């Protein structure tokens, strides 16, 4: 099992990165330091890790920085004697990538290139280090009614977001094959859980249900996604980082496919039960809207390799994960109100200096 002293997590103030940092500190035997390197875009919320910052003191350190700025990246890696990078930072919302692809190209492609170069420059030929790249199943394109994505499935990205992630995946593989950089990669299906910025499907729907707003459903509502509870993504990444074979990609998924409209019914039923709301009133909020351009029809992941080689298995069922998630949003409406308010962004800028 690999061990590290100083791990730099990029994008650790975002949804999956913050859950990953919390998971490693609270549920693994990791004894070193974690540096959270994050630009704090609209999707980055330092409050998501307030509990970790106060509980782990010196072992947790936050740096406000941009992965596309080489001097900032090099300084963070050098100053903290980083021996592993776990790379989550990205522009991650498909709809935003359709309306404004520039930031996706800059952060996801140029940012990954900048990190890879900085890692290479700092580490040279060292083999006791690791660059883990976090990616998505969306790079594989869209499936018909049958079949699942394997690690060997040919890439076929179809949105600016997935194209930028596919590009970053290829760069990471190239830096391994060409320069010998020790890397691992993971391609995961859709995540859900606590601290998810409320523009994405599940938190958006939960919040609209709680506040009585309409529930916008793209097209016929029959697009299929494979859903995974975020803590199970975190423990999969930890398994890959500590035990995975160098140079390998592992698919991560819940083997848990739902049409969007079926998923919405589960959310409606769960919110009605946990928040004491009327089912029929909640169902009346459903509104079909014009489909997303280029909307991929179906994603499904085969994660046999991760299960058999690394012994990974999800810790919760979909029903348990959804229940925990709805309860979290019920208990944390203050977090939602905070991260979506313009004043919060001003507060972040005033309190977290850019390097
Ligand atoms: N959300 C999913 O369902 C899902 C599924 C599979 C893979 N992924 C991948 O996981 C990673 C994390 O996704 P997420 O949902 O947590 O995203 P997110 O949008 O919630 O968080 C992204 C984080 O990256 C930071 N960031 C953005 N640009 C940056 C830059 N230039 N420099 C430094 N930090 C920057 C943001 O401030 C934010 O904290 C992404 O690489 C994404 O492609 C996400």
pLDDT tens string 327-355: 999 999 999 999 888 889 899 999 998 76
- The closest of 325, 297, 329, 344 to 141, measured between CA atoms, is 297
Distance between Cα 96 and ligand 1 center (Å): 13
pLDDT of residue 355: 62
- Per the annotation, the verdict on 137 as an active-site residue is yes
Cβ 166 under 6 angstroms from ligand 1:
no
Report how far apart, in Å, the C-alpha atoms of 102 and of each of 52, 74, 85, 96, 201 are.
33, 24, 25, 10, 23
For residue 92, the ligand 1 atom closest to its alpha carbon is: 19
57 backbone dihedrals φ, ψ, rounded to 5°: 45, -120
Where does 6-196+230-254+300-317+341-351 sit in CATH, by number?
3.40.50.720
pLDDT of residue 340: 87
Cβ 61 under 6 angstroms from ligand 1:
no
Cβ 14 under 6 angstroms from ligand 1:
yes
For residue 16, the ligand 1 atom closest to its alpha carbon is: 16
Give the list of residues 6+ apart from residue 296 with CB closer than 8 angstroms, or none: 138, 141, 142, 158, 159, 223
Helices first, then strands: H and E counts in the chain: 15, 12
Query: Between 112-123 and 160-179, two packed helices, what is the crossing angle to 10 degrees?
Result: 20
Cβ 10 under 6 angstroms from ligand 1:
yes
Q: Which residue has the tokens 């800028």?
A: 349
pLDDT of residue 61: 97
- Per the annotation, the verdict on 138 as an active-site residue is yes
Cβ 196 under 6 angstroms from ligand 1:
no
What is the residue-wise DSSP string for 96-125?
A: HHHH-THHHIIIIIIIHHHHHHHHHHHHTT
Q: Do 315 and 162 contact (CB within 8 A), yes or no?
A: no
Q: Which of 23, 161, 192, 329 is catalytic?
A: 161
- Per the annotation, the verdict on 179 as an active-site residue is no
The segments of the chain whose pLDDT lies below 70 read 355
Q: Return the domain boundaries, the chain.
A: 6-196+230-254+300-317+341-351
Tokens of 304: 């046999």
pLDDT of residue 253: 96
Distance in angstroms (rounded) separating the CA atoms of residues 327 and 225? 22
């Amino acid at each position: 099992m690999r061990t590290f002293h100083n791990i730099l997590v990029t994008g650790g103030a975002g949804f999956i990165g913050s859950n990953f940092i919390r998971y490693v500190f609270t549920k693994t035997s990791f004894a070193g330091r974690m540096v959270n390197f994050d630009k704090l875009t609209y999707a980055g919320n330092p409050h998501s890790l307030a509990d970790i910052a106060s509980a782990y003191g010196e072992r947790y350190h936050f740096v406000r920085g941009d992965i596309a700025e080489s001097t900032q990246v090099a300084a963070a890696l050098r100053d903290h004697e980083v021996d592993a990078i776990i790379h989550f930072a990205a522009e991650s919302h498909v709809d935003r990538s359709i309306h404004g692809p520039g930031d996706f190209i800059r952060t996801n492609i140029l940012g990954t290139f900048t990190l890879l170069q900085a890692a290479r420059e700092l580490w040279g030929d060292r083999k006791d280090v690791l660059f883990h790249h976090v990616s998505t199943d969306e790079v594989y394109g869209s499936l018909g009614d049958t079949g699942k994505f394997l690690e060997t499935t040919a890439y076929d990205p179809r949105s600016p977001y997935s194209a930028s992630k596919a590009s970053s995946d290829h760069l990471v593989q190239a830096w391994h094959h060409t320069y010998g950089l020790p890397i691992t990669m993971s391609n995961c299906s859709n995540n859900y859980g606590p601290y998810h910025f409320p523009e994405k499907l599940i938190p958006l729907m939960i919040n609209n249900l709680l506040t009585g707003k309409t529930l916008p459903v793209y097209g016929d509502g029959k697009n299929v996604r494979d859903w995974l509870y975020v803590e199970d993504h975190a423990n999969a990444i930890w398994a890959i980082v500590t035990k995975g074979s160098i140079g390998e990609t592992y698919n991560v998924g819940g083997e848990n496919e739902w049409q969007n409209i079926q998923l919405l019914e589960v959310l409606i039923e769960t919110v009605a039960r946990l928040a004491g709301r009327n089912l029929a009133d909640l169902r009346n909020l459903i509104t079909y809207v014009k489909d997303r351009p280029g909307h991929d029809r179906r994603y499904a992941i085969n994660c046999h390799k991760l299960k058999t080689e690394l012994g990974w298995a999800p810790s919760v069922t979909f029903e348990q994960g959804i229940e925990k998630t709805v309860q979290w949003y019920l208990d944390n409406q203050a977090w939602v109100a905070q991260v979506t308010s313009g004043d919060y962004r001003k507060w972040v800028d005033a309190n977290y200096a850019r390097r």
